[in-house]
Structure 1
Amino acid sequence: MTPWQIGVDIGGTFTDFVLLDSRDGRLFNGKLLTTPHAPEQAVLEGIRQLMATHGVAPDQVSHVIHGTTLVANALIERRGVPTGFLTTEGFRDIPEIGTELRHDTYDLFMRRPEPLVPRRLRLGVPERLRADGAVVTPLDEDAARAAIRALRDGGAQALAICLLHAFLNPVHERRLAELAREEAPGLTLCLSSDLVPEIGEYERGTTTICNAYVQPVFERYVARLRGGLRDAGLTGPLFLMLSDGGTVRDDVAAKHPIRLVQSGPAGGVQATRIVGQAAGAPDVLCFDMGGTTAKAALIDQGEPQRSLDFEVSRVDRFRKGSGFPLKVPVVEMIEIGAGGGSIARVDRLGLIKVGPDSASSDPGPACYGLGGTLPTVTDSDLLLGYLAPDSFLGGDMALDVAAAERALLDHIGTPLGLSAVEAAWAVHETVNGTMAQAAAIHALEKARRIEDYAMVPIGGAGPVHACAIAMKLGLAKLVSPPGAGVASAFGFLAAPIAFAHLRAMVAPLATLDMDALRLMIGAMEAEGRAMVAEAGVADSDVGIRILAALRYAGQGYQVEAAIGADAIAQGDRDAIRTAFEAEYRHLYGRVEAGLPVETVGWRVIVSGPTPSLRLAPAGQRAGTARKGTRRAWFGTGFVEAAVIDRTALRPGDTVTGPALVEERESTLVLPPGAAATCDAGLNLVVAFS
């Protein structure tokens, strides 16, 4: 009786919607400008419009799944709450000292991100644990109460607690939390031993601080959204997408908002994985280009790469080590370039630079006619003829060609002695070249050949730039799915209910206490089962995956390997070492025979079944696909390119470039020499001559 599902993705420029009828797989899409100061407004309005357009009653919707950039944006834009930091006495400056590594060795003026917590709100308390978790100095509760009162009176609204070695023994952190509830009951509390019980004081501290900093903001947002959905008659559960590709209920997500820092892109990777498998391409390069950024991810044999390390709020956008390190499980994506709303300019050397700043949705690119005057990638694509000024977003939004031309001429063309169109082509090529190079380097760092992958472009701007980038990379195949502009929202619907629990256990493998390990794994599994059961997953449908972070003794980094439950049950250390060395060899091409191995941490992923979606994109119309022609620029000048209505294409239809294949949310630009064939899933499979 509740066959409809809704997926919603909030991006920096647009909020995307997908409405799925689970009975027959029909899929309906929607897109609205994001309302950055109150993101739930666009969400609620978009859902209302989509349901009204397709005649769906609120009581027919089973659930809403949501992903958002709210957490990442709050950290980048410093829109969290004043946060206090309590740590072991003598270690209050860990957030500022960091690891003492320099992300740019030779830059004497290198900048680092300012800590989210100023020094006056970072205090130490007398206590100390040994490296094995044993108590050396008991917690001084009088000093702790005084420190909590000082932070409360200093204006802190949230409190991050991260004590030395608390990942092994949380006793002092938990007592501090009890004292904080007595002395400052209004504070939001975040304990490192609950959030990220892993080795690494700096990373554990920054993760805890970031979570505390955004948690009140996120909780208020979720409460407003939940209330708005309820007022609209949508009484089913609200799920949120995590950064590692799983989903959880909104109440769980509100306690761990830092787990959502990469939620939108994770949904895009889920969608890309499904598209690649359906098109017979299990090895996929996911290219996600939205309004603010472009990201890339590698998917091997249908499985995206994952990581336990992520950085946010980088000072130098493309340089690792220049942001806040987070210890959270994420689908591994790298930022490789700009988005449609990224601003172009000429630097002091006379070179064109694009981004990292974005026009976002307010005021947006100059061509949006909302007050923007700076040139963006979207303005360039419009002048080059790739976008139709009268049919953008299905005609719901008219684009101002004159405003785009004026912005490009004033800020790029005149300073460089170029016409507006030449300036647009220069911006377009700069963006494409940067992204192709970054994607190739990413594959090389992962010991992969980029030429072995098929590209799947998603995001509103992805199909516009995809063919040009694929040709620069030498890719043989590109698969452009229908509805690419809202792919992340669709990916949410394809994600299982899942949550990863992490625990530290630093010990030599040879002397690892297997009984203690079994107890720890069992407790993590039980906690996970209870969590997914609350989300409606039957115990018989629960899947368990165990991963261990291991390293050779003396190494400063670890490798994560999947460990079979039998190996743990039987205490089989050889099987654990074999799994580690197989993964180590896969990554580095060799192993260190004879060196002792040690465990660092364990992760248990508890998940429900992956939804099985039957897709039948709705809105396909009968009739001729060719709508006419439009002048589009391809390198040396304008040519007449065929304009194709994608909703009229049928399996087996072919389109030869130059052509512009349009749908409501995006346009696939086929350059001369490219040809696309519509497959059974209505994907356009592109080959290059």
Structure 2
Amino acid sequence: MAALLGIGSSSYGPLTEVILSASRELRIGIDIGGTFTDICILEHDGIVAVGKALTTHAEPAAGVQAVLRDTLAEHGLDAADVATVVHGTTLVTNALIERRGAHTALITTEGFRDVVEMAREHRYELYDLDLELPRPLVPRWRRFGVPERILADGSVAQPLDEERLRMLAGELAAEGVEAVAVCFLHSHVNDAHEQAAKRVLQQVAPGLRVALSSHVNPEIREYERASTTLANVYVQGLAEDYLADLRVRLRELGLRHDPLIMLSNGGVAAIEVARRFPIRMLESGPAGGALGAVAFGKANVVPDQLAFDMGGTTAKLCIVERDRPLITHTFEVDRVYRLRAGSGLPVRAPVIDMIEIGAGGGSIARLNSLGLVTVGPESAGSEPGPVSYQRGGTQCTVTDADLVLGYLDPERFLGGAMRLDIDAATAAIRQQLAEPMGIEVAEAAWGVHATVNENMANAARVHAIERGQDPAKLPMFVSGGNGPLHGPGVAQALGCPGLIAPPAAGVLSSLGFLSAPMSIDLVRSKHAELHEVRLDVASELFAAMAGEGAKLLADSGVPEADIQFERSLEMRFVGQGNEIEVPVPEVDTNWRARVTEVFAEQYAHRFGTVAPAGVAVEILSWRLTARGPDPKSRLRQRAQQAGSDSVRGSRQAYFPQSGGYLSTPVHDRYLLAPGSTLRGPALIEERESTLVLPPGAECRVAEDGSIHVEFATRQGASGEEHQ
């Protein structure tokens, strides 16, 4: 694939030596993104090689095979030495957005088939008369209700009408339905009717793929449970075919082990787990960036960070607290209104809690009805891509603006494997932005750059504050191909004290995959007030989930002695409509008092106020995470030659706070040895990304190769300075 696209991988720095050894163990991370497919190869002492190629959406498994084959061959590496491959993909997300899943039906309790369309009747934009709502995965004519009723306490009010279900199963098979989601009322309390329905459906129509909500998402809240079950079974066939194809293709290359699959919660799992629960792969790529932030944060004793990842299509940001990214259990897919919360399909699955906005290198810039620059969320992606890619793109993008501003080298993009057309980018910005606004091309390009920075800073500020954090107190960790380029501007707009740019930032998601432990999350809904919970019941509930999680990890090859468990509860005050997740200890005689204390602490941290006294607390859901040991590989750049001159020239780069274009030194990142220091303005280039060091900023290179930036003044994205 790399050869076909004209984008081959290259050596990870001119000083990297590949030392052949029969006993070497290589660990490989591969991430398929919306624009690029990234690969990183790691050995015990650091990064061996990286690669980046344009994503081939039509045949992603073939693309993975090609980029892996080419990277191994280019660096003289043997596939037989590969001990682990960890893979993340946007396949599931794209299938849901593009509606490329199975011909699916929904079976519910009679009278409830419209739950997935009625949703919660929430208006995410209160005064929009033409409000656009997410389209259900299953149209109304393929949604069916059957007579049955289980009450909230688990008792059966009306038996399941199995004869009606048999007739329905025959009709579904005759109509060519491939998959069925079954979501009965209160099945998270008593799943007897759903299990019976599955038996009937498989007897009558054995070719149907059947998903039960009590298996996929055994939690309270009917709409979210139905939506999650539908999404899972809708893409399950596609995911199974893709993972089977990937397994075969990697074996053809000579790899001895099946790949592990990155999950959205920051853990990895065997292929069999991913096949059963493909919705847990939804945000697998962005999870890698957050895990990379954690790994480099630990190495540099930075436990709290703002992890910022900006690629070719979107930008994501999450909070890292005490060396852990925050986790949420609700995620929205296919937001139909500018990535606005509430405009997408809800999925209940553990994901790293991040905000996502349509701001990437391929984001399209245009003038709105007021004549002002707007950027995104529409993206040119990799097909056709920015104007400067010379692949048929005609609308100017963020990458085109960055090229005109001098931040990117047109001859050395992706290490020189892809040439950018600066003349075409300049002409597009002049015609589409500068001339209509009556300003110079450089000013228009800076307007694009500053606008996207300010958009990301505004979103990040709200995200951090809603989670009880002050962004001005958190250093920013940047990753993605455009993270080091735009991160300094976003960090200064937020008032962050500094910034950390890791090595191989442009492929950091694939590198972060290699720091992820085997992990699986389980949940049970059992509503009760805390003071009413019997200790033996609590202990049995957690023990049952622990047994299930341990078996899944053991089947994936994790020794039982290495498995650890983390317990949490979703809790709220009686009468509240929303809950917070609270980590809790093992059950003992003092368990209720300790849980009450931890809940009060979490409440105060989240909302900035002391929890009210004398109000009863209730539990909605019980959660357990089974986790294997952390991988031992170190995420670091191999040591470089001390004393080498890192400057390889200079070019004109635009810094409005210093009056415009400045002659700016360009440094080869691979020649910056640990302990090196620089003062801005400077451009620090590696193959996959460029770190823009603004005037007045200073940086030093840490032992692991990461670059730590400190800002002299707090500076807005527009270039205005604040003391």
Distance in 1, matches of 2:495 and 2:605, equals 25
**Aligned partner (choices 570, 577, 590) of residue 596 of structure 2:** 577
Match of 2:616 in 1: 596
Which range is displaced more, 97-106 or 73-82?
73-82
Q: 3-state DSSP class of the match of 2:369? A: coil
Residues 32 and 38 in structure 2, CA contact (< 8 A), matched pair in contact too: yes
Q: 3-state DSSP class of the match of 1:551? A: strand
**Aligned partner (choices 666, 670, 679) of residue 656 of structure 1:** 679
Instruction: Compute the displacement of 1:619 (Å).
Output: 8.7
Change (3 A) 1:103 1:396: same
Distance in 1, matches of 2:140 and 2:216, equals 23
- The correspondence of residues 500-649 of structure 1 with structure 2, limited to 5 A, is 500-565=521-586, 568-570=587-589, 572-588=591-607, 589-618=609-638, 620=640, 623-635=644-656, 636-649=659-672
**Aligned partner (choices 476, 497, 505) of residue 484 of structure 1:** 505
Q: Deviations 1:653-673 (Å, cap 9, x if unpaired)?
A: 122211110000100011111
**What amino acid is aligned across from residue 19 of structure 1 in structure 2?**
I
Change (3 A) 1:549 1:375: same
Q: Deviations 1:499-524 (Å, cap 9, x if unpaired)?
A: 01111111122222433332222121
Which range is displaced more, 481-490 or 400-409?
400-409
**What amino acid is aligned across from residue 470 of structure 1 in structure 2?**
A
Match of 2:412 in 1: 391
- The correspondence of residues 345-424 of structure 1 with structure 2, limited to 5 A, is 345-424=366-445
Confirm whether residue 171 of structure 1 aligns to residue 192 of structure 2.
Answer: yes
Residues 28 and 40 in structure 2, CA contact (< 8 A), matched pair in contact too: yes
Instruction: Compute the displacement of 1:337 (Å).
Output: 4.6
Instruction: Compute the displacement of 1:336 (Å).
Output: 4.0
Distance in 2, matches of 1:96 and 1:224, equals 35
Match of 2:131 in 1: 110
Match of 1:675 in 2: 698
Provide the aligned C-alpha RMSD in A. Answer: 1.5
Gaps of 5+ in 1: none
**What amino acid is aligned across from residue 585 of structure 1 in structure 2?**
A
Q: Deviations 1:193-214 (Å, cap 9, x if unpaired)?
A: 0011000000111111111111
**Aligned partner (choices 239, 244, 247) of residue 260 of structure 2:** 239
**What amino acid is aligned across from residue 20 of structure 1 in structure 2?**
L
Distance in 2, matches of 1:616 and 1:342, equals 31
Distance in 2, matches of 1:494 and 1:538, equals 18
**What amino acid is aligned across from residue 602 of structure 1 in structure 2?**
W
TM-score (norm 1): 0.97
Instruction: Compute the displacement of 1:124 (Å).
Output: 0.5
- The correspondence of residues 5-154 of structure 1 with structure 2, limited to 5 A, is 5-22=27-44, 24-154=45-175
**Aligned partner (choices 222, 226, 238) of residue 205 of structure 1:** 226
Residues 312 and 363 in structure 2, CA contact (< 8 A), matched pair in contact too: yes
Distance in 1, matches of 2:174 and 2:572, equals 45
Instruction: Compute the displacement of 1:571 (Å).
Output: 7.2
**What amino acid is aligned across from residue 576 of structure 1 in structure 2?**
V
Match of 2:6 in 1: none
Q: 3-state DSSP class of the match of 1:66? A: strand
**What amino acid is aligned across from residue 680 of structure 1 in structure 2?**
E
Instruction: Compute the displacement of 1:322 (Å).
Output: 1.1
Residues 336 and 439 in structure 1, CA contact (< 8 A), matched pair in contact too: no
Match of 1:4 in 2: 26
Residues 338 and 358 in structure 2, CA contact (< 8 A), matched pair in contact too: no
Residues 28 and 619 in structure 1, CA contact (< 8 A), matched pair in contact too: no
Match of 2:453 in 1: 432
**What amino acid is aligned across from residue 617 of structure 1 in structure 2?**
Q
TM-score (norm 2): 0.93
Q: 3-state DSSP class of the match of 1:286? A: strand
Instruction: Compute the displacement of 1:615 (Å).
Output: 4.1
Distance in 2, matches of 1:288 and 1:63, equals 25
Residues 315 and 322 in structure 1, CA contact (< 8 A), matched pair in contact too: yes
Residues 295 and 337 in structure 1, CA contact (< 8 A), matched pair in contact too: no
Q: 3-state DSSP class of the match of 2:125? A: coil
Instruction: Compute the displacement of 1:463 (Å).
Output: 0.5
Distance in 2, matches of 1:157 and 1:621, equals 59
Instruction: Compute the displacement of 1:78 (Å).
Output: 1.8
Q: Deviations 1:13-48 (Å, cap 9, x if unpaired)?
A: 0011011113x3343211111111111122111111
Residues 88 and 164 in structure 1, CA contact (< 8 A), matched pair in contact too: yes
Q: 3-state DSSP class of the match of 2:77? A: coil
Match of 2:707 in 1: 684
Number of residue-to-residue matches in the alignment: 686
Q: Deviations 1:50-101 (Å, cap 9, x if unpaired)?
A: 2112222121111210111111121122222221111000000000000111
Change (3 A) 1:397 1:158: same
Residues 357 and 377 in structure 2, CA contact (< 8 A), matched pair in contact too: no
The list of structure 1 runs, each at least 4 consecutive aligned residues, that deviate by more than 4 angstroms after superposition, is 618-622
Residues 40 and 47 in structure 2, CA contact (< 8 A), matched pair in contact too: no
Distance in 1, matches of 2:81 and 2:650, equals 42
Residues 27 and 615 in structure 1, CA contact (< 8 A), matched pair in contact too: no
Which range is displaced more, 450-459 or 569-578?
569-578
Which range is displaced more, 615-624 or 118-127?
615-624
Residues 619 and 647 in structure 1, CA contact (< 8 A), matched pair in contact too: no
Instruction: Compute the displacement of 1:311 (Å).
Output: 1.2
Q: 3-state DSSP class of the match of 1:132? A: coil
Instruction: Compute the displacement of 1:583 (Å).
Output: 1.5
Residues 364 and 379 in structure 2, CA contact (< 8 A), matched pair in contact too: yes
Residues 42 and 633 in structure 2, CA contact (< 8 A), matched pair in contact too: no
Which range is displaced more, 440-449 or 240-249?
440-449
Q: 3-state DSSP class of the match of 2:648? A: strand
Match of 1:260 in 2: 281
Instruction: Compute the displacement of 1:410 (Å).
Output: 2.8
Confirm whether residue 498 of structure 1 aligns to residue 519 of structure 2.
Answer: yes
Residues 359 and 452 in structure 2, CA contact (< 8 A), matched pair in contact too: yes
Q: Percent identity?
A: 45
